[in-house]
Chains A and B, each alone.
Chain A
């Protein structure tokens, strides 16, 4: 036995031909590794490929037969065709000159020198190109076409099994013509076989496949083989009428119709092989997988590995004839160890090296990830397990707790808000300097009995109680104008005093008379410290402390400037809605907080209250509960006594530059006069030691009370303004520093921009980011603009405060010595 592999002859001839010659003279021919024929049974193959088609044609028409053989360069199909009676002309098209050359020489004995027959016309060309060339030309149509191609093994090979190919064949075929196709194995590659059937149907051909067992093909593992006859109106019954006029050496046509019996093919989900969609080759190379298998999703498995590799490996398609399943399986054996063999630490280090160009903050986060992996990578699995368990437990506990007590489970409700100032201060004169109100009852003050001389705040801090003496009944029946209380009436603010100016909410005062009852003087202690300057008296009255000598008494919707040295109001003021509203809000807020504390202690004591007799801690809890309840009651009383916030239109008095609002309802003008917003809406003007009402020309001596309280108020306001000025100076310095820094940044970015050849995309550091230089310049300019606005605002406020400070200095000189 000798073997000979012949070289390729040209570019078209991209095949390798291997001839295996045995000692007995038998040959086996392989093209690109696939068996083409074996002399022991090649007659069976070629007789069945050629003669049934010609026999059917002979039955259908008596005219001479024109035949086209595509492939079959070995000349064996040509041999069979030429010995069939009536064959007038045969065109044989084969792309391989090597194979045709072998057919002319080495296989000439086998093919009976078919190539020398004058009826045979051999064309060395690509069959597709040949068909394209003759389509639509004047070439006479063929009676039959024999497709003796090798089975497709590479991308592009399957185009001569495509729908377009069969449509082209149909166009060069007589209407009653027959095509005979070497149609692979319905046993070894059933999906590909079905695909071919569907493709022929799609091309408008009736296909009748014939299966047969070719022994040498079977030896090579190709399985049962098949040929397919197709034509415009071909039926399986056509096979029964075949009478072959030539002697058959190996084939037997008597059982041909039976050989054409196939189980039903399920073509619904089978793809059609077209030029655009090469469906045949994957099915040929991956038999048994099915077309859908290649796109199946891979489900994770519970065995700890992220995925089971088996389906993943099985889904890798074979796209080359020498690429075998065994190769993939061998590779798969190494995949898992390879993945496990990855050095994660080194990988992260490499990533860190790459990440060196990232922003600093991002790099820090990555470094933390690396440290974590270094410390925990060996225990990650265990850590994950415990995390899941912990999460599950937490989830259950929180769910149950939330169902039972939503507030406790998610810390909803509780306390909040901050404090307000109620005395003097910049701006409105309402919200300023006072300390922030406590937001939570956390101290122990309530756990003891609170003495009568103590005041507490919301946090339970105790303070020395302060006493205030005043006549609260003044606001009840107008006794303010009574004898002994010289108020303003003696100074002649109109016949009925200033209450005659239309405040209908206040009862008209009684005429001053010596027989009117003297209002009773009362002394009350501060019981609750709402804020640093806001106190609630033991009877629920509210005091806003201005200085040690002066305070505002807020009672039943009335506000009065009071002095510690007198029980009568120094000036009854207009109830500024802003002041009343601010006090009301703060009282309600703290009352709400207290009520919550009372409620939760009530719950607690419902459970354990009966143990107070023998457990001191619970007794303390009970005391705390009572104190809180008492305090809550006091606050409630205070809210009631505060009265409603005035709803009438409040016209805020315009202040000019340099004016200072000393407190709500009192403005110090730049010319050192002081305006008091009176209860009836008019303004009382104090000019040094004289007063007058804005609408009246009569000027009288200022009450002595004013002289006592005003210097302290001005002095305190001056201290506050000086403090505000200091803070503002610091803020201005910071803004100037920021501006200088921004200007430098701008210069740097401009410089980088010019040095980069005006490339706006050049990356630069911007804080913790890396952004383009054009973006950096844009942001810097924006920051400069904002800085400029802040500077302007701060400068304006500074100027106003300076002006106010000057006003206060002048006023201190005017009123300070009184």
Chain B
């Protein structure tokens, strides 16, 4: 094989590895597709393809689980928050915990589980889902309990109270979702230490 072809193959493999590190697997596959099968890099190309496939599958699993993991963390934290009522926490403390601290933790955890090796926009949605849903669950349960504790009198408007519960739940859920989503997307694109084995230096000469 001509030396020029070998040089080109080496460059394609290097570009493929870079693409993998950037999380652009399609580009990596494309680069690997340009490598001549008869070149000395054929074996490395094969191994790299296997590696990409494994990473893709792992990412796929993490991505599907991430919102649920974040939701679990959020619900757990809100459960702890429920030990005291908002009045007992006092307004500012409760607002800080319910609308900022817990959604931020839930959102960041979701993003961490999802993996930081993707765009911010891609991480925003699962983080927002996790934080928002956890707040919705917290709100619904606490509103039900709070309304239950108020003795219903002849003059009470139960329908109106239900409407208020619905509006509050949606509004608080949205706020928490936005905060959690932002927390999840806050960290910039990062290459995971796991990818260190994808050396940019090719083994061929």
Residues of chain A at the chain B interface (Cβ within 8 Å): 400-401, 403-405, 407-408, 440-448, 460, 597, 599-604, 606-608, 611, 615-618, 620-621
Q: For the complex, is B165 an interface residue (Cβ under 8 Å from A)?
A: yes
A617 contacts B163, C-beta separation under 8 Å = yes
User: B82 near A404 (CB under 8 angstroms)?
Assistant: yes
Do A615 and B163 have beta carbons less than 8 Å apart? yes
Q: Which residue of A lies closest to B78 (CB)?
A: A404
Contact B87 A599 (CB under 8 A): yes
Query: Which listed residue (A444, A445, A448, A600) contacts B150, Cβ 8 A?
Result: A600
Q: Which of B30-38, B53-61, B141-149, B177-185 lies at the interface?
A: B141-149
**Chain A neighbourhood of B82, CB < 8 A:** 403-405
Q: Given the known A-B contacts A403-B79, A611-B164, A618-B161, are A603 and B146 also in contact in the complex, defined by CB atoms under 8 Å?
A: yes
Q: Name the residue of chain A whose CB is nearest to the CB of B88.
A: A603
Chain-A contact segment, one of B65-73, B118-126, B151-159: B151-159
- Give the CA-CA distance A814 to B153 in the complex, in Å: 51
Q: What's the nearest-Cβ distance from chain B to residue A239, in Å?
A: 75
Establish whether residues B156 and A443, one from each chain, have CB atoms under 8 Å apart when the complex forms.
no
B4 at the binding interface (Cβ < 8 Å): no
Q: Which of A405, A460, A616 has the most CB of B within 10 A?
A: A405
Contact A603 B86 (CB under 8 A): yes
Which residues from B are CB-within-8-Å of A618? 160-161, 164
Name the contact of A447 in the complex, choosing from B139, B153, B159, B168 (C-beta under 8 A).
B153
- A569 and B115 CA atoms in complex are apart in Å by 83
Whether B85 sits at the interface, judged by CB under 8 Å, is: yes
**Closest Cβ neighbor of B90 among chain A residues:** A606
* A–B Cβ pairs within 8 angstroms, 24 of them: A403-B83, A404-B82, A404-B142, A404-B145, A405-B82, A405-B149, A408-B145, A441-B153, A443-B155, A444-B153, A447-B155, A448-B155, A460-B153, A600-B150, A603-B149, A604-B146, A604-B147, A604-B149, A606-B87, A607-B86, A608-B168, A611-B167, A615-B164, A617-B164
Distance A769 CA – B145 CA, assembled complex (angstroms): 47
Chain A residues near B159: list those with CB within 8 A: 617
User: Inside 8 A of B155's CB, which chain A residues have their CB?
Assistant: 443-445, 447-448, 620
Q: Which residue of B lies closest to A596 (CB)?
A: B149
With A442-B151, A600-B149 given, is the CB distance from A607 to B161 under 8 Å? no
- Contact call A444/B85, Cβ cutoff below 8 A: no
Which B residue's beta carbon lies closest to that of A401? Answer: B145
Question: Residue of B at shortest CB range from A611?
Answer: B164
What per-residue 1/0 map shows which CB atoms of B164-205 lie under 8 Å from chain A? 110110000000000000000000000000000000000000
CB pair B79–A404 under 8 Å, yes or no, is: yes
Among A401, A404, A446, A621, chain B packs the most CB atoms within 10 A around the CB of A404
- Is the CB–CB distance between B156 and A606 below 8 Å? no
Pairs A-B, 5 closest by C-beta atoms: A617-B160, A444-B155, A617-B157, A447-B155, A606-B86
Chain B residues within an 8 Å CB radius of A611: 164, 167-168
Say yes or no: A620-B151 contact (C-beta < 8 A), given A603-B86, A607-B143, A607-B168.
no
| Structural contact, B143 and A608, CB atoms closer than 8 A | yes
**Closest Cβ neighbor of A606 among chain B residues:** B86
Could you tell me the distance between the alpha carbons of A621 and B151 in the complex, rounded to whole angstroms? 11
**Chain A min CB distance to B164 (Å):** 4
Count residues on chain B whose CB falls below 8 Å from chain A CBs.
34
Q: Which residue of B lies closest to A447 (CB)?
A: B155
Determine the chain A residues whose CB is within 8 A of the CB of B87 once the complex forms: 599, 602-603, 606
With A403-B79, A602-B87, A607-B143 already in contact, the answer to whether A620 and B156 are too (CB < 8 A) is yes
B residues within 8 A CB of A616? 157, 160
CB-based contact A604/B150 at 8 Å = yes
Taking each of B87, B153, B168, which has the highest tally of chain A beta carbons within 10 Å of its own beta carbon? B153
Closest chain-B Cβ to A652's Cβ sits at a distance in Å of: 41
Shortest C-beta distance, A120 to chain B (Å), equals 95
Given A403-B79, A404-B82, A460-B153, verify A607-B146 contact (CB < 8 Å): yes
Which of A442, A599, A615 has its CB near the most chain B CB atoms (within 10 A)?
A: A615
Contact residue among B85, B157, B158, B161 (Cβ-Cβ distance under 8 Å from A603): B85
Q: Establish whether residues A608 and B165, one from each chain, have CB atoms under 8 Å apart when the complex forms.
A: yes
Which A residues are CB-close (under 8 A) to B157?
616-617, 620
Are A407 and B160 in contact (CB-based, < 8 A)? Answer: no
CA distance A446 to B152 in the complex (A): 12
Query: Which residues in A have their C-beta under 8 angstroms from that of B91?
Result: 606
**Least CB separation from B146: chain A residue:** A604
Q: Closest approach, in angstroms, between the C-beta of B45 and any C-beta of chain A?
A: 54
Q: Report the minimum CB–CB distance from B36 to chain A (whole Å).
A: 62
Name the B residues within 8 Å of A442 (CB-CB).
Answer: 151-154
Question: Which chain A residues border B154 with CB–CB below 8 Å?
Answer: 442-444
What would 14 more interface pairs be, CB under 8 Å, given A403-B79, A405-B145, A621-B161? Answer: A404-B82, A405-B82, A408-B145, A442-B153, A447-B153, A603-B86, A603-B146, A604-B149, A608-B165, A617-B156, A617-B159, A617-B161, A618-B160, A618-B161
Q: Judging by beta carbons under 8 Å apart, are A441 and B151 in contact? A: yes
Shortest Cβ distance from residue B25 to the other chain A in the assembled complex, whole angstroms: 43
Q: Considering the complex, give the chain B residue whose CB is closest to the CB of A600.
A: B149
Other-chain residue from A408, A443, A606, A608 in contact with B149 (beta carbon distance below 8 A): A408
> What chain B residues lie within 8 Å of A401 (beta carbons)?
145
Find the B residue at minimum CB distance from A443: B153
Please indicate the chain B residues that have their CB under 8 angstroms from the CB of A601 in the complex: 150
Q: Find A608's partner among B141, B148, B164 (CB 8 Å cutoff).
A: B164
Is A408 touching B151 in the complex (CB atoms < 8 A)? Answer: no
**Chain B proximity of A126: nearest CB distance (Å):** 82
Give every chain A residue within 8 A of B153 (Cβ-Cβ). 441-444, 446-447, 460
Q: Considering the chains assembled together, what is the distance between the CA atoms of A456 and B38 in angstroms?
A: 97
CB A252 to nearest CB in B, in angstroms, measures 76
* Complex CA–CA separation, A602 to B139 (angstroms): 16
Q: How far is the CA of A149 from the CA of B139 in the complex (A)?
A: 88
CB distance from B132 to the nearest CB of A (A): 17
Q: Which residues of B contact A460 (CB under 8 A)?
A: 153
Flag if A615 contacts B79 (CB, 8 Å). no
Interface centre among B146, B157, B158 (most CB of A within 10 A): B146
Q: How far is the CB of B129 from chain A (nearest CB, A)?
A: 22
- Please give me the residue from chain A that is nearest to B158 by CB atom: A617
CB neighbours (8 Å) of B94 from chain A are: 606
* A408 proximity list for chain B (CB < 8 A): 145, 148-149
